[in-house]
Structure 1
């Protein structure tokens, strides 16, 4: 199996290398959406770098500066009739999480700014510029989507898995070579609070050769809220029996975060990243949860759940540059 994965990784890496080279040589063309600034929050390691809270951090930053901001996402795993979809305008949500995908819908819930999804990110950027009249587009993911030219590429490096095992997908977690960091404008080491200072310094030293600005960010729990949106203190789970479930790229961080809140017991149910829950799966979680004081999930998961779950708490996480 390892040999097969290595072969597949070599094939994947070769395809990505050739594609990037074609863009570098200007054989494949990048297109600029004139009249709007595009800032990409991306990564080179698949999943789990904290893009969603980072996107919301930068949206709030520019809103505080008086800019009109929009969010552009691919809308991964969203099922819609037409590719380009306006998930929300600055007044209301216009789509479901099933149509938009979980990440875009989470942005729509948390921020009162236009959110659009489109596999063709250039088309989406033009739409946000022309129809929604935004000044700045924060692009959720898309460092590898070179068809749209960005004004700034901010790349997130997950401190708990910074270099993807130094192998391409599927053997490792690299979406492209670490040399692609030379295309970045800034590198942010996320989840720095999950490792010690010595490990953090080693990551910084390895990144210095790319000659980019390096920032450090924390990824911290802020509060819980229930299905009615009522906020709850983090201390509510201390000394309690907890059942957690998630469908995220890095469930280990979710587990470790809940563990730091000192429950007496944790049991975990894991699904694949971006999993779409079936009613029977939610029923099974609810039934299992009867033996626990609380059931805890993530913000990315709650947007995909329509059924009521008793004793459910959603953990809200925050991104902060330190």
Structure 2
């Protein structure tokens, strides 16, 4: 239903329109309060690169964040990642995250980033606290924030926005009548727009999520996706239909497709109840982060990699590298 409302296919968005005006007024006022200096923002001593989005729900920003930190590592830089840690609740913040941190504490996306990239990760509702924790304990010369485009309390040096190339901006309205956290005109002020799927417009960077082999949660054995049969597919991400379409594109037709809420807290008995005899459970890697502790032999996940294409990719990375190396040199003098 929410997809129909946000896309404009359902007239119910008009009922939510007054709330959208209120959301837009509040979010605009917050942004202006930092721009005009009515509220104080904080600048980190190292460059900060924001990877965020303008819309709610599953655009692919976490795969982009992982891609970015790997590319920066290849250039000899030392990135760290900060995140709000949605879906997690730690006893105290900031929380330093590693591959073994329970997602119940840190959230699923920060743990996934730590597992896939190996870079230092910290979470805190106030990103400044997460940045300071990383800088105090790790050798980090650039910060990548997973989400946080609207967290104006933290100053940023570059902004990268990830857009769903199929859904784009729906009906264009602010939440809750539409999917927008900020209006599409904000794109004119960011440093790069990465379009996940669909068709990239002039000036945008095209991106595809490439699936790898399916991986068993218990044994870590990998097999070609097409080798799995009698699959029940599940996804607790911002936009589950994208995952299900990826499976069909890989010649896997699930016997059932089950969507959960983003950051959903799974239970072993609940997931076991999804399967009949002889069936396998196939989930996203983000879901697997939360299910490894009680995984069963017939549970699998599908990792994906962000592939960015186009002439604007190298200049984006070159620009960030120059920024980081210049900052390094300034602090040495």
TM-score for the superposition, normalised by structure 1: 0.87
Per mean C-alpha deviation after superposition, the further-off stretch among 228-237 and 242-251 is: 228-237
Match of 1:44 in 2: 54
Unaligned runs of at least 5 residues, structure 2: 1-11, 310-333
Alignment of 1:207-222 (within 5 A): 213-222=203-212
Which residue does the alignment assign to 2:252?
Answer: 263
Q: Which of 81, 87, 96 is the aligned partner of 2:91?
A: 81
Question: Hey, which bits of structure 1, 4+ residues long, moved more than 6 A?
Answer: none
CA contact (8 A) 1:70 1:128 kept: yes
The aligned counterpart of 2:148 is: 142
- Structure 1 residues 170 and 52 mapped into 2: Cα distance closer, same or farther (>3 Å)? same
Q: Secondary structure at the match of 1:70?
A: strand
In the other structure, the counterpart of 1:254 is 243
Residue of structure 2 aligned with 1:282, choices 271, 274, 297: 271
Instruction: Pick from 192, 198, 207 the counterpart of residue 186 of structure 1.
Output: 192
Aligned counterpart, 1:208: none
Equivalent in the alignment of 1:209: none
1:289–1:295 Cα contact (<8 Å) kept: no
1:37-116 → structure 2 map (5 Å cutoff): 37-88=47-98, 93=99, 95-116=101-122
TM-score normalised per structure 2 = 0.84
Distance 2:301 2:109 in 1: 15
In the TM superposition, what are the counterparts of 1:200-239 in structure 2 within 5 Å?
200=199, 204=201, 213-227=203-217, 228-237=219-228
- Residues 26-46 of structure 1 show CA distances to partners (whole Å, capped at 9, x for unaligned) of 222221012x11111111011
> What's the offset of the Cα at 1:263?
2.8
Deviations 1:183-220 (A, max 9, x none): 311111122xxx3xxxx2xx616xxxxxxx52111112
Match of 2:324 in 1: none
Q: Aligned with 1:301: secondary structure?
A: helix
Match of 1:321 in 2: 308
What is residue 318 of structure 2 aligned with on the other side? Answer: none
Instruction: Give the C-alpha shift of residue 278 in structure 1.
Output: 2.5
SS at match of 1:145: coil
Cα displacement (A) at 1:112: 1.6
The answer on 1:297 being equivalent to 2:279 is no
> Cα deviations across residues 73-129 of structure 1 (Å, max 9, x unaligned)?
1111211111210012xxxx4621110000001112112211100111112112212
d(CA) in 2 for partners of 1:167, 1:291:
45
In 2, the alpha carbon distance for the partners of 1:24 and 1:177 equals 17
Does residue 27 of structure 1 match 2:38? yes
Distance in structure 1 (CA, Å) of the matches to 2:187 and 2:37: 18
Judging changes above 3 Å, is the alpha-carbon distance between structure 1 residues 141 and 310 closer, same or farther for their aligned structure 2 residues?
A: same
Q: How many residues align?
A: 296
Distance 1:122 1:174, change over 3 A: same
Q: 2:131 — aligned with what?
A: 125
Question: Are 2:50 and 2:159, in contact at CA under 8 Å, matched by a contact in 1?
Answer: yes
Deviation at 1:320, TM superposition (A): 1.0
Query: Contact 2:82–2:123 at 8 Å: present in 1 too?
Result: yes
